[in-house]
Homo-oligomer: A and B are copies of this chain.
Amino acid sequence: MEKLKNDLLLRTIAGEECERPPVWLMRQAGRILPQYRALRAKLSGFKELVETPDLACEVTIQPIDELDVDAAIIFSDILVVPEAMGLTYEMIEKKGPFFPETVNSKAEIDKLIVPDGKSNLDFTIEAIKKTKQELNGRVPLIGFAGAPFTILCYMVEGQGSKTFSKARKLLYAEPELAHKLLQKITDTTIFYLKEQVNAGVNVIQLFDSWAGVLNTNLYLQFCMPYIKQICDAMENIPFTFFAKGASYAYSAFKNLNCETIGLDWTVNVNEVKSIFGNQKVLQGNFDPAQLYSNSENIANATIEMINSFGNSKHIVNLGHGVYPDTPLSGVKTFVNTVKNFRY
């Protein structure tokens, strides 16, 4: 078995009592780092980074060098999955993703591919292999994918939205079609995540970024069965499930076959702890906007947050991806405060 120089994240997930919580940041490989911005300025766009294993590897490792965080997360995009299924997208500067074609009919869903061999997911798999080599055991590497409903949102809507009302319309107006699409996304995701594990990732995180537009009924019907399939298929690797804005459904997460639950910054830690008890490791949930504050406030709030979780079943992270214009000094104060903390 692989020997890691820093295995704090894995020991925490395994339930060991550790000296301090591990820390990493969602979107740590990105615009907060000057070396990322310098590299990005030379490229045609975001997708060139995602699709070039050498470059994806380079930006994955940048935050390990610059911030000394306890884990790397492979630089990629949840939208490589719909692309592998046949829907290409563009990443439009300052606007976000855009899919020229969307799916709404049975014919369009039937046409979608479930890749099971060579696909355009390969560049991420190559990037993972290369990153594992380059990391040389410094820290664990996290792989990831989007949860089926979040991917459905983009495939139906074609772009970001505040309400994803077209996606929700599909759930209500054409539930069978929605299930058909969700199953295809699930099958693709399981294939993709298994490839990631084979390539060497140490932990998987599943992001349900748009869970917050649903409610308990819809979540139990259209999300949980697929998330459960994915968790069960990945039972041999530490698994983190992060559903943003889904506190309404937390009590259903207790029985998921996963070790860790990610929390966004809006939830009350005490309430969450009373739901999960000691059954799950919890990850989060510092408000990314608080990193705009001064360093004294950041340090105090970080310690206050760690204490609110109050035991060693905690991975420190933000409650959302770090905002691109966050001062690097604020990020470093956050990380260093955790690294100097002792239970």
Contacts and interface: CB of A to CB of B under 8 A. Distances in A.
A137 interface: no
Interface in A285-307: 287-290, 292-294, 297
A217 to B, nearest CB: 8
Given A287-B168, A323-B165, A212 B266 contact: yes
Contact of A266 (B165, B214, B268, B297): B214
Contacts of A173: 292-294
A218 B301 CA distance: 13
Contacts of A248: 247, 266-268
A320 B247 CA distance: 18
Interface in A139-170: 160, 162-163, 165, 168-169
Nearest to A160: B162
Contacts of A172: 287, 289-290, 292-293, 297
B215 A266 contact: yes
Contacts of A247: 247-248
Interface string A4-22: 0000000000000000000
Closest 6 CB pairs of A and B: A168-B289, A169-B292, A172-B293, A173-B292, A215-B266, A165-B323
